[in-house]
Amino acid sequence: MRSHEDEDRRQFSEYFAARRGVVRHSAYLMCGDWHWADDLTQAAFIRVASAWHRVRDPQALDAFVRTCLIRTYLSETRRVWRRRERVVAEMPDLASGNDDAESVARRVAFAQALRQVPPRQRVTLICRFYQGLDVTETAVALGCSEGTVKSQTAKGLATLRKVLGDALPVPALACATEGKE
Amino acid sequence: MTQLRDLFEEAANSAPPPSRLVADELYAAGRRRRRRRTVANYAAAVALVMTAGTGIAALAGHERSVSGEVGVDQKQSSPGALPHHGERIQWSGAADARHLYLSMSTQLSCSKEPCAKSIVQLVASDDGGRTWSDRGGPINAASFEVLGPGRLLAVLHDSPGPKWTLQTSTDGGRTWHRLDQAPPVAAVPTGSVAVCWPESNKAPSPCRMHALDPATRRIAPLTSQPALTLSDDLRIRESAGRLWASGVDPATGRPGVAVSRDAGRSWSTQVFADAPACSRAGCPAPYLAAGNGPIGYAVVLGAQQRVVYRYEENDGQGAGGWQRVPGAGSVPSDRLPGGVQSFVTADGTHVLFQVVTQSDQDVDAHRWWRAGADGTYEAVEPVGLPDTVNPIRRTSNGWFYTHSYLDKVVYGSTDGWHWSPVARGS
């Protein structure tokens, strides 16, 4: 049905325009490389497009694209030829116009610390603290138990704390391993 | 936690370079991925079934059988495979969700000269589309009707000579039998169906209401005939214990509908005097649609306008009445070809078809218009159904089906709104 196809394409374009930024930034936090982040975003949205006829609810779409992104990333980190997980002395960084020296330093330090966190723990932290998911939603996105989410969160935060020391906000640690329940 | 989130926000917003991603390209890539996966799944399913095909072929005897991955009750994950590669589906019929029948063209098998297009191969499935087999050989058929599981009615060419005869099959189309004429009966007996067929010695005359028993192969005219010149539809529509016959008033030529609530003993006839003006060729008989209950719809085609009448019985004793549905006029009617005009979904919604000309294809497309509670119609898109399918039809137990001529796919639905492929040609 051509008109139906056109409508699907239009709806997908609207959804892509609305969510591209969030997905791309999440991907960047995961992998630390904008080009790789584009690859991950592309793979996630292609999967969404291939299933566009099945998923209509915006909430379900967000969860679906998140799951696609996470699984694509974790899958790639397990591939030998795509081992981009590497620790570099200095994070490549671009000034964003209104950066001051303090914020740049904080951002670079946090990005370096995030790179020290293993991929799965890092994804857990991103789900919990960047995307604002609770333990249950994070468990669904990662395809694991809620207990695993809590332990991965604790381990990830411990790694961050080890690198950042006092620079990591302490109150966050109190909430980190709690679920929404 | 807010501060930690700020750190993530800062890290994520570190002046990203422009993205190279384009929505249209991603969508196209997604569609290609879906097609590849569908083909791969389909090929795997076919390979699996072909592996087991030797046993199936032995069971099926001399009948050619092609298998697919389809269950019944709309739970199948992929459609079954139709036999006769490359041939078109000419007609589809169903007794219910399990018993499906198709007539397929035989043009590709004519190696030396074009075959008559009325020569078709009947194929059928008794398992909801999972497996298909030929039923007999190619036959010269003008039309088919499904009377029930395994019970078919056809207008077949009775060679030699130009005569077309009504024949029945009680073995799913494998063998066909001519009918014997029986004395008139007062009503359609249980086990028989009402058909409209000219009396045997008056072939060109308008058809008359008959009771046909496929088991005994007897056809008997009804004593009481509707006061209409009946349409040429072979099968008289039957639902909710009512018989619905359409035609035109022999006196005025206006379209009308006759309803019988007692198996044809008596008929209540309504002539639509306020129907729109017809062409010089005369008024066509109304096109009927009915659902589960005693509610029916008659779609009347005028020269430039289409109107809908709704039949409803307001009590359990008196006869029903027909009321014109005011909102049908809002449905575009720039093209009004004859044929099935509407259907009634499982939830009782009347859905009108609109025929749309396609500039880039040889077949017309459909748009569907759903009646609301206030009688107005709004455009709707049934899920999973392409717009180039044939008109939607409904079995007596409420299963919906249709087929696509272009891509050779049979579609089924349990509610008329959500569709899935049941079988697919190649």
Does A76 lie in the same domain as A103?
no
- This model of the complex carries an ipTM of 0.80
Residues of A in contact with B14 (CB under 8 A): 93-94, 96, 107, 111
Does A75 lie in the same domain as A3?
yes
Does A116 lie in the same domain as A58?
no
Instruction: Inspect the interface and report whether the beta carbons of B11 and A47 lie closer than 8 Å.
Output: no
Does A113 lie in the same domain as A51?
no
Report whether A117 contacts A156 (CB < 8 A): yes
| Domain end position, chosen among A29, A50, A80 | A80
Q: Which residues contact B5 (CB under 8 A, 6 or more apart)?
A: A129, A130, A132
Question: What average pLDDT does range B16-29 have in this prediction?
Answer: 79
Q: Is A24 within the bounds of a domain?
A: yes
Does A177 lie in the same domain as A130?
yes
CB-closest option in B4, B21, B381 to A38: B21
Q: Is A92 within the bounds of a domain?
A: no
Does A181 lie in the same domain as A129?
yes
Residues of A in contact with B16 (CB under 8 A): 24-25, 28, 34, 37
pLDDT digits (tens, 9 = 90+) for B113-125: 556 677 889 999 9
pLDDT digits (tens, 9 = 90+) for B130-182: 899 999 888 888 889 999 999 999 999 877 666 788 999 999 999 999 999 99
* Better-scored residue on pLDDT, B15 or B178: B178
Does A76 lie in the same domain as A135?
no
Total domain count, chain A:
2
Q: Is A148 within the bounds of a domain?
A: yes
Q: How far apart are CA A49 and CA B26, in angstroms?
A: 7
Residue B425's nearest CA partner among B90, B132, B84, B102 is B84
Q: Does the pLDDT of residue B55 top 90, yes or no?
A: no
Question: What average pLDDT does range B334-344 have in this prediction?
Answer: 81
Structural domain of A33? 1-80
* Better-scored residue on pLDDT, B410 or A4: B410
Question: What average pLDDT does range B183-211 have in this prediction?
Answer: 84
Does A17 lie in the same domain as A45?
yes
The whole-angstrom distance between A153's CA and the closest CA on chain B is 13
CATH code of the domain in which A122 resides = 1.10.10.10
Mutation for testing the A interface, residue in B19, B26, B389 having most A CBs under 10 Å: B26
Q: How far apart are CA A62 and CA A57, in angstroms?
A: 9
Q: Provide residues of B within 8 Å CB-CB of chain A.
A: 1, 3-5, 7-17, 19-21, 23-24, 26-31, 33-34, 37, 365, 381, 384-388
Does A56 lie in the same domain as A10?
yes
CATH code of the domain in which A22 resides = 1.10.1740
Give me chain B's average pLDDT, please.
83
| Domain end position, chosen among A80, A112, A127 | A80
User: Quick check: helix, strand or coil at residue B284?
Assistant: coil
Does A110 lie in the same domain as A65?
no
Does A178 lie in the same domain as A148?
yes
Instruction: Inspect the interface and report whether the beta carbons of B8 and A48 lie closer than 8 Å.
Output: no
Residues of B in contact with A170 (CB under 8 A): none
SS3 assignment for A35-79: HHHHHHHHHHHHHHHHCCCCCCCHHHHHHHHHHHHHHHHHHHHCC
pLDDT of B150 reads 93
pLDDT digits (tens, 9 = 90+) for B208-267: 999 999 999 999 999 999 999 998 888 998 888 899 999 999 999 999 999 999 999 999
Q: Does the pLDDT of residue B87 top 80, yes or no?
A: yes
pLDDT digits (tens, 9 = 90+) for A73-92: 888 877 654 444 444 444 44
**Residue type at A176 in one-letter notation:** A
Residue B284's nearest CA partner among B357, B217, B232 is B232
| Domain end position, chosen among A17, A48, A80 | A80
Mutation for testing the A interface, residue in B1, B3, B41 having most A CBs under 10 Å: B1
Does A131 lie in the same domain as A68?
no
Question: What average pLDDT does range B325-344 have in this prediction?
Answer: 82
Side-chain-side CA neighbours of B297 within 13 Å: the count stands at: 24
Burial class for B213, CB neighbours closer than 10 Å (0-12, 13-18, 19+): buried
